[in-house]
Amino acid sequence: MALAEPDADQFSEIDFSGFSRVPLCHSPTPIEPMSRLSEHLGGPNLYIKRDDCTGLASGGNKTRKLEFLVGEALAENADMLVTQGAVQSNHVRQTSAAACRFGLKCHAVLERRVPGRDQLYESNGNVFLDSLFGATFEFHAAGPDMNAVAAAAADRLRKDGHRPYFIPGGGSNATGALGYASCAQEIAGQSAGAGLDFQWLVTATGSAGTQAGLVAGLTAVGCDIPVMGISVRQPREPQVSSVRKLAGLTLAKLQGPAIPASKILVDDGYVGEGYGIPAASTIEAITLAARMEGILLDPVYSGKGMAGLIGLVRQNFFKASDNVLFLHTGGMSALFAYAPQIVEALS
């Protein structure tokens, strides 16, 4: 799907017409100023891209990916979506809801990735919503390759007579990342339309599809906003490697240019004790966003992403005059599974 010829004064446009796609996302999602938070931090001009408002099952970043993934599943005549994620997976919630929209079944492998959680953690928040959407799921101990476990589950279901379409964790393959190539084009258009130049884009990065898609899409349209990924689960070097590999695969689908290594930026200073374990900086970020802007973040992804943004402001990483855009990946429904820890921290 080649890029359209650019006009002299505009960004290039990506032609997505050759890809199977279904409508799931409320778009364009708004870009809003975070004026009170900016003033509180004494930092640059902070803005937020509200991808918590994508609409599907309380919203979130996976909705954009699922437009392409479900489109491909239907094109392959699938009758079931099979995927995997941690117990409180935002991705599994949105995949379950997307399956409902198109009359598909959904089965998920839920990994007990976060240690020391009680029984309520496995029935509240996103897991409750998975059940409400009629998904079936199986719990597994933490393992090194949960995609392989879920793919094996898909094979088992295929032998039982189903037609499963396998979606990797986070929807993070080159098909899913097209959703954030599309979002990148949306951001470039909103920026140009408002006459507002962003010097930085900051977002949480985990399974890599969101950051990879953004980098691929911005590269494809000829927009040079750097994307800083705040890692939520692993050190910088492996995260950079994952993002760069997936961004390259995504750009290959778009017939776009290669991505230089210098474009993949990751800060791993806010992971804390590990995936799904909120650090003190995570809870501070959740609290500040709520009390300064009335915005709900989640303890796994967007809370750590916002903690990274706040930390970078405090380190004077940005210029005072910079316009910095934070992409909100959603996930507020997971807050309820972490309520006791957050309440204790606030008391």
Q: Just list the catalytic residues.
A: 89
Q: Where are the alpha helices (DSSP H) in the chain?
A: 35-41, 62-75, 90-101, 125-132, 146-159, 174-194, 209-221, 236-253, 280-293, 302-314, 339-346
**Token match 């004064």: residue?**
9
**Token match 């992971």: residue?**
271
- CA–CA dist 215, 110 (Å, integer): 29
Helix (H, G, I), strand (E, B) or coil at 190: helix
User: Which residue(s) pair with 68 in the sheet?
Assistant: none
Asked if 170 and 92 touch (Cβ cutoff 8 Å), the reply is: no
Q: Are strands 164-166 and 136-141 parallel, antiparallel or unpaired?
A: unpaired
Helix (H, G, I), strand (E, B) or coil at 167: coil
Q: Residue 124 is inside which H or E element, if any?
A: none
- CA–CA dist 162, 141 (Å, integer): 25
- CA–CA dist 37, 87 (Å, integer): 31
**Token match 């839920």: residue?**
110
- CA–CA dist 228, 232 (Å, integer): 13
Asked if 190 and 31 touch (Cβ cutoff 8 Å), the reply is: yes
**Tokens standing for 87?**
């117990």
- CA–CA dist 166, 189 (Å, integer): 33
Q: Residue 104 is inside which H or E element, if any?
A: none
Helix (H, G, I), strand (E, B) or coil at 311: helix
**Token match 């470039």: residue?**
188
